[in-house]
Every structure is written in structure tokens, then in C-alpha cells.
Amino acid sequence: MPSPQIQLSDDDLHALLTLIAAGGSSASRRQLLELHPSPAAALAAGTGQWQAAGLTPKQIDALRAPDEEALTRALDWLHAPRHHLVGWHDPDYPGLLRRAPNPPLALFVAGEPALLWHPAVAVVGSRSPTPAGRDNAADFARALARSGLAVVSGLAAGVDTAAHRAALDAGGVTLAVLGTGPDIAYPRNNADLHARIAAEGALISEHLPGTQAKPEHFPSRNRILAGLSLGTLVIEAAERSGALITARLASECGRDVFAVPGSIHNPLARGCHRLIREGAGLVESAGEVAAALAPLAAELADDLRRRLGIPISASHAAVMEGDHDGDDPAHGVNDRPDFADPDYQSLWDALGHDPTGMDQLVERTGLTTAELSSMLLVMELEGRVAAQHGRYFRNR
């Protein structure tokens, strides 16, 4: 994560879960958290302040008499390894999503929460794609992952599944945004993929553990998918499609939308052609997507530096001028740059051109895993470091 996650007290954790369980519009509950120093203080504020924040009578009733069984189930889930809760009050709440319309109150994360800050592209499309559409989803996801971008999708059948699997198989990063609780694999035949993403990437849900799939959850899920991503790529979509909802939500976030064209005889190309007519970028390669998103990726890097307290104009990872003792004569570049921060210098020296695991980096640098995760993410956003299968190396 950009920094070690805020450790909530038991009272704050119970209060935040109670606020999540209250349901309804998240705007009033976000405002309540903003008006108070902690979730426990927000919950203790009482009916008058709840009403002033805009909570409805139904939400207030839920705060007064919470479903303790559901809260206990959520607490049990959170006590398992690699299970996290990132709330609106948390400085590690992902910056891109915070700027999107109607962001969720909190996110349950199974896997690595730092990945919520990783520059990402949403890859979406039909649940029943053509063979060519499935191949395109895999090809684009594989290339995007190899370029260093994360692939975000919704773990649905079809395009989503192909994109997640291809990103993982390429050694890249993938995040799945769920329309269920984080512990529910949906569809069921994606249970293996659900488990693999939890182990190698991140599963993300705004719903309490144990929440089953409901039709209204999926359009709502799509706003998170769009909000976490630098842009949205639509592979195949009919004219009435959930993928088009995601594309519209991405536009409302001010993010780029891309569409892959298809045959005029393919009904699943009509949604993509409609998007292109409405201004989406027509793309034929992942490189076109990556190039278009580079400016917004730089903004995300700046957000992360602010989160870490690193000056934007001279980040800790910035190379100092004038030292060329480590120049590689074969390439004419400095293979051992001097960094303004000694910890970054130590990390750079510990990295090689072959992938190195986190345990080895901890041993070589003496830094903690949390510190290294933050630093590696900054260096990856700057293009200095690449990752493959959870191992890191210098990006030449």
C-alpha cells in the first residue's frame, strides 16, 4: 500500500461496518465521516447530526439497530490474512476513485490494497463474446499488463474472464470489482479465478462479506470499475450492454473511453461502433491505449507522491544530475543513478536486471515490506522498475 494501512480500533472498525451496513446513498454517510474525526465519533454523533448529514429515516433505523450477525461475519472475514477494509476517511483510499462521481463509502479488498493505486485500464465487454472478441480481450489485456498497466474488470463471464486470465498469465496486475461480497465467487464457475486474483492481485467490493449477487449491484459495481481506471476499453458490446454503462460512467469521471471496431455484420460490434460515433477512441492496439493514458498516469503518480509526502518537483526517486560514474558504455546511460533519498538508492542498488523477490529486497536493504511496497510503486509509476509475478527488476 502507499503506506501502512490505518489500523482501526475495534470501536472504529465496528462503527465503519455499521455505517456500511446502513446502505442507501453513500453521499450522506461520506459527509458524516468528513464531519467527525473517526467512524466511532460519527456513529456516536446521534440522530440530530445524522439527519443534518442527510441520512434517511431508513438509514438512521439501521444505525440504531444494526444487523449484528452481518457485522460479525464481516469482522471474521477481515481477521483473515490479506483481507482489508479501506474507508472514505482513510488516506489510502484510492485517489482516482475519490475524484469520481458517487464514490463508495468503503472498499473490502482481498489481496494487495496497494494495487488500488496502480495505473489501470478497465477492460469490459460481452458476457458471450465471439471467439474473435474473446481473443481480442486476451490480446489487449496481455499487452496492457506487459506495458505495466493493471487490467481492471468485473469477473463476469466472457470478456472479463478472458482479460483477467490473460493479465495474470502475462505476469501482470489485475483487479476484479465485484457485484457481490468479497467472499462470493460469481459466476460460480469463476471460483478458481476468484481465488487466483485474491492471491496474485486484488478483489474489490463495496458490499459486506456474505452479500449475494443482485441485479442492481452490477450497474453500481461498474461505477467503481470506471472510477478506479485511467480509461475504459470496450472489446465487444451489444447496443444495450453493461459495458456501455461502464463506458458512460468513465466519461462522467472525465476518463478516456476506447472501443475496438468490428464487423458491421457482428451485433456485438454495434455498441463499440456507437461509442466511436459518440467520440470514443478507435483503437487497434494496446499501445494506442497506453500512449493516450500517459498524461493521466503522470497525474496519478503525483497523487501518490503527495500521499507519501514526496515533493512533486523533486521526488525521492529523482536522479541527481552530474554523476555518471556508473555509465554503461554499451548503452550510454547511467546504470547506477544517484537518488535524492538514500533509501531509494539502497533499493535501486538491491535491484538487478533479473526479477528479485520481496524477501530478498527486505534482506538486502533492511527496509520493511511496507516501506519497499510504497517505494517500488513510486518507481514503477516513474518507469524505473518493472514487476513480474510479484518480483521486481530494473526497467531498461
Q: What letter represents residue 1's amino acid?
A: M
User: What stretches of 65-158 show up as alpha helix (H) in DSSP?
Assistant: 68-78, 95-98, 131-146
Whether 310-394 and 113-295 are alike in CATH topology: the answer is no
Q: What is the C-alpha separation between 392 and 387, in angstroms, rounded?
A: 4
Question: For all residues of the chain together, what is the average pLDDT?
Answer: 87
Q: Which three cell numbers stand for residue 108?
A: 473490502
- pLDDT score, position 367: 83
pLDDT of 282: 97
CA–CA dist 31, 14 (Å, integer): 18
* Cα(145)–Cα(134) distance, integer angstroms: 16
Residues 380 and 347: beta-carbon distance below 8 Å: no
User: Is the pLDDT reported for residue 334 higher than 80?
Assistant: no
Residue 84: φ, ψ to 5°: -140, 160
pLDDT band at 389 (very low <50, low <70, confident <90, very high): low
300 pLDDT more than 90:
no
CA atoms in the 13 A half-sphere facing the CB of 316 = 22
For residue 122, the cross-strand partners are 152, 232
pLDDT at 186 over 70: yes
203: helix, coil or strand?
Answer: strand
Break the chain into its structural domains and give their ranges.
1-79, 113-295, 310-394
Domain 310-394 annotated CATH 1.10.3720.10: no
DSSP string, 223-259: HHHHHHSSEEEE-S--SS-HHHHHHHHHHHTT-EEEE
Confidence of residue 87 (pLDDT cuts 50, 70, 90): very high
113-295: CATH topology: Rossmann fold (3.40.50)
